[in-house]
Every structure is written in structure tokens, then in C-alpha cells.
Structure 1
Amino acid sequence: MYRPVDLARPYGLSAQAVRNYEQRGMIPPATRTASGYRVYTDEHAGALRAYVALVPGYGHRAAGEIMKLVLRGELSTALAVLDAAHVGLQRDRETVDRVASAAVVLASCTPATPAGGPVSIGVLAHRLRVSPATLRKWERAGILAPARTRGARAYSPDDVRDAELAHLLRRGGYQLDHIAAVIEQVHAAGGPGPLAASIDQWRERITARGRSMLTGSARLADYLSFVELTRAAVPVPVDGAGL
């Protein structure tokens, strides 16, 4: 049996944080003593352990959604959230590979450009899974400079490449001013060295996130197994026994 502070202490959390997680549905509801105090069990400890482990790899929002779905018995939907996060990670890996290839081309001062003609802001936003407002914000920061066709933005293949690089950098935690500087270096082909160094850092972050996903998934699997074993161990009354 645990108090809120007992669950919180191993993770550097406050007792109030544990109560908040309970209220938001990220851990099961606590039982109460006669005087109204919360009492938690190993099941609550396992749920909190899973949630805390999910956060580094999947983020607070997705981790919370996963736990809520699991606790509601919607395991299939929870697994779909996990799958979507892994798809996103794979897309990051593919983008890094494209940027790395561009860096090789930049070494010979030949810019790498995607195939195809200009695209609209809506098409590019859909491709990157961001909002058009995000692309306009990047433009104000000096990252993108699309041409205009009858007042509408038209993103060239070079613009699309720049947007993909900016998207990857944002996911890596870079600020807009840093991204603008990198894009400027790409345009000027002034040296693939800094770009190559950034690529190595991005790959390290992707690897770290992948490992965090593995850890989070393992802790979630531990919790699911614990719940299944606990429920299987509950005796079922036979022929009126226990009535």
C-alpha cells in the first residue's frame, strides 16, 4: 500500500503530481481510507512507472493518451498511438538521410533539389504535417522565401527541401534563428562541415528517442502483464463458495 508521496518520490515528482495523474486518468483511481486519504497499490505504481517511462520517447501528450486508453480497456487504440509515433520516427530517419545526401552534394557546390514543380502552401503543409500558419511563421523568420503567383505562395523544389530541413530541425529542438542560419549556409554552399556535424547530432537524438521508446514500451508491457496476472489470480467462487 502506498501514499501519493511514496509513488512520487522515485521520480522526483510531487504528491500533487501523482494526484493530478490520477484525476486525468493516467493511473487507476485510488481507494480511500475511512478518513478519505488516498491509498495506492502495486498496480498504481506500475501504471505510474509506465507513464513516466513513456514520456521521454513519446512525449507527454501521447504518453497520457496511451495510458488513458489502456486504463479504459482500449488496448488496440493505445497500440495504434504507439505505432504512429514509430512511423514519425522513421520519417525523421528518412529525412536525415535525405539531408545527409544533400550535404554530400553541397560539397561539390551543387544544390540538391526534390523533383517536381512548385506546390501551394496547403500541399506543403500537408506533406510536412504542419499548419499553413507554421510555414508563414518560418517565412517571417527568414527560413523560407517562396515566390508568389497571383498573390499565392508557390514553393519551388528548393523551398520544399528547405522546409523539410527546417521541419527536422524543429523536431530536434532547434530555435528558428538557428534554422535560418543553417538554411543560409545551405543556400550559399559555404561549407558542409557544420551541416554534417548537425546531421550526426540529429541521428544521435533519433537513436536516443528510439531507445526511450523501447524502454517506455517495455514498462507498459510490464504493467499489462502485471494486471493480467493479478486478475487471473483472483479466485472465482465455485458452487456458492465465498457467497
Structure 2
Amino acid sequence: MARNLQSSERLRPIDLARGHGLSTQAVRNYEEAGILPPAARTPHGYRTYTRLHAQALEAFLALVPGHGHPTATAIMRAVNGDAVDEALRLVDGSHAALLEDRRTLRAVEDALRGLSPATGSTTRAAPKAGRTFIGPLAEELGVRPATLRAWEAAGLVRPRRDPLTGYRVYDEADVRDVRLAHQLRRGGYLLEQIAPLIAQVRAAGGLEPLEGALRDWHSRLSARGRALLRGAAALDAYLRRLLPE
């Protein structure tokens, strides 16, 4: 695979650093991490960089917002190590994760729109015939019973106790709360963030209390999508300079 590592323009570490708002030590660290291709050295041992290194740095900095620092680092190391297919696999993985997060958000919205005032109210009716217990519910969601107990301790769900056995009994409203907590956790929300949202849903019985959070979630996913596009464009520009056709 032919690689274009030549350029008539020579850049000092300080030139590369200042052009991207970094310290010279950060530039050296990026080179040592494989984010930049190896730099040439002067007879006195000083590093010299080229426009290729500047473009590699631009690609990395563009990749970070969408992929995160570890994945962006792995992508650049793969490219600079002649493993372009591995770099593209990592890029695909980030896009797949974003798509899964979009599906999770839609599932949360669908779950909320399915609420009725009866099931969302703070007034709790007697358990229905379809009540369930912690083991089957945990198995259905693919979590451990200990997870449901942790959610209960955090105030996300409030199952009754069977007066004879002491077992937790989840009625229709409890199951709804557990499903909602599960979806929000998949969306990256912390337990302390979920508890007040579920409390609002119980009180209002509908989607309105979560509309602000859902709009924010949509905005964050859209920002990630745009960031992935910008990262892809910068990476493609670097690849075209590194591996001219």
C-alpha cells in the first residue's frame, strides 16, 4: 500500500500545536500513541512534521466528538498502522451504536405514549390478575433480580409485598415503571436522573413531564450524528493524502 509521507512544508512541533490549540507535549504524546505517523528528525534529533501530520491531527480532533477519545485513537492507530479495514470497522461500530441509541429513544417514546392516566397516576389500584414477580420480570428484561432491587432502593419502582410470602409483587403500574427505567438506563441516564422522571410520569400520567428530556436526548443524538459526519469527512481527507490513488 503506497503511503505519501512526503511534503515540502516542514512544521515544528510548536507550529502544529499552535495551529490546533494544543501544547507541544500533547503533539508529542499523540505521535507516541500512534495518532500521528512517525515524525522525521533533524540531525540534532528535533522532530519535524509535515502537512500530512497536520491533517492526521485534524482528523483525530474531528473524530473525537462523535466516537470518543479511545475509539478515535484506535481508528487513527489502525490507519497509521496500515490497517484501514480495521479503522473502518471501528467507524461502522460507532454508527451502529448511534442507530441502537436512536432505537432505544424511540422505544422510550413509544412506551411513554402507551401510558394511560389510570396507569400513570399516583393513585394505585389493587394488583391486577396479570401481576408478576421479580424473577420472571428480570428474566424478561434480561437483567438480574439484584438490578431490580437496586432500582427499588433508588425509588424507581415500588412493588408491594405479598402479605403471606413477603415476595415482591409487581402490578401493571410497577411493570410500566420498570420498563421505563430499563429503557432510560439503556439511553445512558443515571438512576438519580431517572427517579424524578418516573415520579413525574406517575403524577401526570403521560408524556408531558419527559418532553424536555426527550428533546434533549434527540438533540444529543443529532449532535453525535453530525459529529460522526464531520469525523468521517476529515478521516477521508487524511486517507486521500496518506494513500493517494
TM class, shorter-chain normalised?
0.7 to 0.9
Q: Alignment length, in residue pairs?
A: 214
Q: 5+ unaligned residues in a row in structure 1: which ranges? A: 126-131, 233-243
Tell me the residue number matched to 1:3: 12
Q: Secondary structure at the match of 1:53?
A: helix
Secondary structure in structure 1 of the residue aligned to 2:68: helix
Q: Residue 181 of structure 1 corresponds to which residue in structure 2?
A: 196
What amino acid does structure 1 have at the position aligned with 2:142? V
Is the contact between residue 117 and residue 206 of structure 2 (CA under 8 Å) also seen in structure 1? no
Give the aligned partner of residue 123 of structure 2.
Answer: none
The residue aligned with 2:237 is 222
Counterpart for residue 86 of structure 1: 95
**1:102-113 alignment runs, 5 A limit:** 102-106=111-115, 108-110=117-119
Q: For 1:189 and 1:119, how far apart are their aligned partners in 2?
A: 26
Structure scoring higher RCO (CA < 8 A, sep ≥ 6) equals 2
Cα drift, residue 167 of structure 1: 2.6
Paired-residue identity, %: 44
After superposition, residues 21-32 of structure 1 pair within 5 angstroms as: 21-32=30-41
Q: 1:33 aligns with which of 22, 27, 42?
A: 42
Match of 2:143, as an amino acid? Answer: L
For residue 124 of structure 1, give the secondary structure of its aligned residue in structure 2: coil
Deviations 1:174-230 (A, max 9, x none): x5422221132234445532301211111111111100000001100000001122x
User: Matches of 2:149 and 2:55 in 1, distance apart?
Assistant: 44
Task: Describe the shift of the 1:143–1:64 C-alpha distance in structure 2 as closer, same or farther (beyond 3 A).
Answer: farther
- Larger radius of gyration, structure 1 or 2? 2
SS class of match (2:35) = coil
Partners of 1:21 and 1:83 lie apart in 2 by: 23
TM score, norm. by length of structure 2: 0.74
Give 1:107 deviation, angstroms.
5.7
Q: Which residue of structure 1 lines up, in the alignment, with residue 185 of structure 2?
A: 166
Are 1:4 and 1:18, in contact at CA under 8 Å, matched by a contact in 2? yes
Map of 2:6 onto structure 1: none
1:200 correspondence with 2:209: no
Give 1:16 deviation, angstroms: 0.7
Among residues 123, 143, 153, which one is paired with 1:124 in the alignment?
Answer: 143
Which residue does the alignment assign to 2:21? 12
Q: TM-score, normalised by structure 1?
A: 0.75
Structure 2: runs of 5+ lacking an equivalent: 1-9, 121-131, 162-167
- RMSD of aligned alpha carbons: 3.3
Query: Counterparts of 1:10 and 1:91 in 2: how far apart (Å)?
Result: 36
Matched, 1:101 2:120: no
Contact residue 143 and residue 166 of structure 1 kept, 8 A: no
CA distance in 2, matches of 1:86, 1:183: 30
Kept after mapping to 1: 8 A contact 2:117/2:205: no
Q: Answer yes or no: is 1:54 the counterpart of 2:69.
A: no
- Which residue among 39, 43, 46 is the counterpart of 2:52? 43
Q: 1:162 to 1:122 in 2, by over 3 A?
A: closer
What amino acid is the match of 2:22? L
